[in-house]
Chains A and B, each alone.
Chain A
Amino acid sequence: SQQGEEDPQALSIQEGENATMNCSYKTSINNLQWYRQNSGRGLVHLILIRSNEREKHSGRLRVTLDTSKKSSSLLITASRAADTASYFCASPTQGAQKLVFGQGTRLTINP
């Protein structure tokens, strides 16, 4: 079962533009995490935002969290070709020992 659903499923933009991906989740969370996966590779942790935080920055990444709407967004500013990857939101299920992932957004940055 998937906890989160990303939107859009695929996004293609020009290098230098900003990319925004959204994630909606179903149950209450303690935190929400974003991961990146390059083609044929494992997942790399990008950023974690806790349930009592509304916004967090890391380099060119900006994550927001709206617990009332059960949604989060990941913004990548000034995109680069190297940002081409799939991006997943994930959250730990309460009381369960696992991180549950969404379906992902496939981001393509065109040079």
Chain B
Amino acid sequence: GAGVSQSPRYKVAKRGQDVALRCDPISGHVSLFWYQQALGQGPEFLTYFQNEAQLDKSGLPSDRFFAERPEGSVSTLKIQRTQQEDSAVYLCASSLRWTGGTEAFFGQGTRLTVV
């Protein structure tokens, strides 16, 4: 595809349920980021991949959050035992090769609502 694709667009989960959010980056993009955006706030960094290597996971809020990118392309963010405070929009972004001086391309996000 031409852009970053995320699925599903919307997800409603019951508290305690596990969820998996998918991100298809732009083909050939080495760098991939996950962000969490609460309502009315700016995106907060969760984790960063370069190819299949997870180089930074300092933003993951708890050990219930897990991300992977096993083949260096598609990435999955998994949240176990969801809680109400996990409700947010989860954004994925990719970059050709992140050097800090290049732009990041964002997907439209997955809006997660935990009830």
The distance from the CB of A90 to the nearest CB of chain B, in whole angstroms, is 8
Q: Mark A98-111, 1 if CB is under 8 A from B, else 0.
A: 11111110000000
B1 contacts the other chain (Cβ, under 8 Å)?
no
Please tell me which stretch of A11-19, A38-46, A67-75 contacts chain B, meaning at least 4 of its Cβ atoms lie within 8 angstroms of it: A38-46
Q: Are B42 and A44 in contact (CB under 8 A)?
A: no
Task: State which of A2, A43, A97 has its C-beta within 8 Å of the C-beta of B98.
Answer: A97
Chain A interface (Cβ < 8 Å from any Cβ of B): 2, 30-31, 33, 35, 40-45, 48, 50, 88, 92, 94, 96-104
Q: Mark B9-49, 1 if CB is under 8 A from A, else 0.
A: 00000000000000000000001010100000111110010
Q: Which residues of B contact A88 (CB under 8 A)?
A: 42-43
Known interface pairs A99-B45, A101-B43, A102-B42; A92-B106 also in contact (CB < 8 Å): no
Q: Which residue of B lies closest to A96 (CB)?
A: B56
Closest CB pairs A-B (n = 4): A92-B100, A42-B106, A101-B42, A45-B103
A104-B48 in contact (CB<8A) = no
Q: Mark B59-90, 1 if CB is under 8 A from A, else 0.
A: 10000000000000000000000000000000
Answer whether residue B108 sits at the interface, using C-beta atoms and an 8 A cutoff. Answer: yes
Chain B residue with Cβ nearest A51: B101
Q: Is B112 an interface residue (CB 8 A)?
A: no
